[in-house]
Amino acid sequence: MTRTARTPIKFFSVLSFSLVALWLLIAAFPFLWTFWGSFKVQSDFFSKADWMYALWGTNTARETGNAFTGSGYYGAWIIEGFWKNFLNSGIVVFFTVIISLTFGTLGGYALARSGFRYAFWILMATLVFRAMPHITLVSGYLLPFFEWNIWGYLPTTIIVLVAMNQPFTIWMLHSFFLNVPKDMDESAMIDGCTRFEAFRYVIVPVMWPGVITTGLFSFLLAYNDFTVTVMLLSEENETIIPAINSFLGTTQVEGKVMYAVAAVVSVTAPILVLILFFQRQIVSGLTAGAVKG
């Protein structure tokens, strides 16, 4: 009797553990493999003869004298000028985050404190924006931008990215400010602060957790964006993601796939660091809308 009752429990846990283990393997393996392979030559990374070549770098050792080579990175960063794209990305990401956070904090605070129920409409705008394929919006932007001659520049892209990001930031910060007790700024205003001073001295010191979480997601949006940047930036202003895409077009022919591999690894590294430091905030941000509702 006890045996029959216990067997399904054991079976269940074993099954779920092996499922988790399998998933972790599937999630991590491609990254480890590509990271390891980025230090090899192409004939190792794409070794049809024996996949162990990619592990030990047999051909790499034969061609360069060492089992590890930085030639992919050298090619991508120096020869193909990937550092320029990285710089562009840095500029775009920095300004997108700063601008959308500034508007988001002020707007979110105002909406949270004004009595009117904007909440529904912001939520709707956020939803619509998430649902809309970005490319449909970009197709609307493109022709006017050509006509006004502002196509291809970084500021244009930053404005578009901020616009796409804004409903989301306002929504997130709005729900964050709703959780900050109203009493705090009201008591500050009774003590003689103006509305702005109350915001500056009372709200700003306590708002950082919410701002950091929102900032992380703005960062990811701007950093990961392909649709907007590939359509709106000219070749010399490309950010990293479209740059990788254009690498592919040229490298397949020249046999320089390893440049792209190295670039891909370089792009992934910052995200890895980001998750390492901000895992808690990312998880809380992902679930913010869900768990409460």
Partner 1 sequence: MILFIAIPIGSAFVQSLFIQHDQVLVLSKNCGPFGCRETTSVDIEATKELRQDSPLGKFNGIGTYLNRAHLAFAEVGNAWAVSRTFSGFLNEVLDLPFYGALMFTLTYTAVVTPLVLLLGLAIAIGVNGLPNIIKGPSIFVSLLPFLVTPLVGSLILFWMVDGDGIIGATIQLIFNDPDLSLKASTGLTWTMLIVYGIWHTLPFSFIVFYAGLQTVPVDTLEAAEIDGATKWQRTVYVVVPHLVPLITFVTLMLLMDNFRVFEPIVSFSAEAHARSLSWIIFNDLRESGNPLYGSAGATSILTIIGVIFLLTPVLIRNWRDFKLRRL
Q: Which of residues 165-194 bind partner 1 (CB under 8 A)?
A: 166-167, 170
CB atoms within 10 A of CB 2: 6
Confirm or reject binding of residue 212 to partner 1 (CB under 8 A).
no
Place of tokens 């080579």: 69
Q: Report the C-alpha gap between 264 and 254 in whole angstroms.
A: 18
Q: Quick one: tokens of 25?
A: 């393997």
CA-based nearest residue to 106, from 169, 50, 24, 161? 169
192 vs 276, beta carbon nearer partner 1: 276
Return d(Cα 115, Cα 222) in angstroms, integer: 32
Is residue 141 involved in binding partner 1 (CB under 8 A)? yes
Q: Which residues contact 181 (CB under 8 A, 6 or more apart)?
A: none
Examine residue 264 and tell whether it contacts partner 1 (CB under 8 A). yes
Closest to partner 1 by CB, 51 vs 83, is: 51
Q: Which of 111, 173, 202, 231 binds partner 1 (CB under 8 A)?
A: 231
**Contact stretch for partner 1 (CB under 8 A) within 140-148, 150-158, 172-180, 197-205:** 140-148
- Contact segment (CB under 8 A) with partner 1 among 71-79, 186-194, 200-208, 241-249 equals 241-249
Query: Applying CB under 8 A, which of residues 61, 137, 178, 193 lies at the interface with partner 1?
Result: 137
CA dihedral of 79, 83, 86, 88, whole degrees rounded to 10: -100
Q: Report the residue number, 76 or 164, with the smaller CB distance to partner 1.
A: 164
**Residue with tokens 């591999």, as numbered in its chain:** 261
Binding string, residues 16-45; x marks residues near partner 1 by CB under 8 A: xx-xx--xx-xxx-xx-xx----------x
221 binds partner 1 (CB under 8 A): no
DSSP 239-286: -HHHHHHHHHHHHHHHT-HHHHHHHHHHHHHHHHHHHHHHHHHHHHHH
Of the two residues 148 and 196, which places its CB atom closer to partner 1 in the complex? 148
Closer to partner 1 by Cβ: residue 64 or 227: 227
The vertex-116 CA angle with 114 and 119, nearest 5°, equals 95
Residue list 63-122, contact with partner 1 (CB under 8 A)? 117, 120
Asked whether the beta carbons of 126 and 186 are under 8 A apart, the reply is no
Is residue 222 near partner 1 by the rule CB under 8 A?
no
3-state secondary structure of 108: helix
Asked if 253 interacts with partner 1 (CB under 8 A), we say no
Q: How far is the CB of 59 from partner 1 (least distance, A)?
A: 12
Work out how close the CB of 241 gets to partner 1 at its nearest, in angstroms, rounded to a whole number.
6
* Helices H / strands E in the chain, number of each: 16, 0
From 8, 115, 192, 205, residue interacting with partner 1 (rule: CB under 8 A): 8
Which listed residue (39, 40, 54, 99) binds partner 1 by CB under 8 A? 54
**Partners of 138 in the β-ladder:** none
CB-based contact 193:201 (threshold 8 Å): yes
**Part of the chain binding partner 1 (CB under 8 A), chosen from 74-82, 129-137, 187-195, 196-204:** 129-137
